[in-house]
Amino acid sequence: MANRVCQWWLGYLLASPLRRYRYDPFKILAPYVREGMTVLETAPGMGFSARSCFSVGVFGRVIAMDIGI
């Protein structure tokens, strides 16, 4: 099983600016995330999509839950 675990440094490729340009999480999540909502993101990893959930505003909540290895 250990040989199937993603290496930690590959996470930086997932958070790359090129990926953000191609798959902008703000545009993808905009129709679903509103101000004041509570948003749960499972397995956020490097936080690629979790940062865009901060459009919930001051009274909303973002809960990012990941497994620790």
Question: Quick one: pLDDT at residue 36?
Answer: 92
Question: Quick one: pLDDT at residue 40?
Answer: 87
User: Positive or negative CA dihedral for 48, 49, 54, 60?
Assistant: negative
For residue 30, the SS3 value is coil
Question: Quick one: pLDDT at residue 3?
Answer: 67
Give the amino acid at 30: A
Residue 37 in any domain: the answer is yes
Among 15, 22, 26, which Cα is nearest to 54's?
26
Residue 62 in any domain: the answer is yes
Question: How many domains, the chain?
Answer: 1
Residue 56 in any domain: the answer is yes
The residue range of the domain holding 30 is: 24-69
Question: Quick one: pLDDT at residue 68?
Answer: 67
Residue 65 in any domain: the answer is yes
Residue 9 in any domain: the answer is no
Residue 53 in any domain: the answer is yes
pLDDT in tens, the chain (69 residues): 556 677 777 777 777 778 778 888 888 888 888 899 998 888 777 777 777 777 888 899 988 888 766
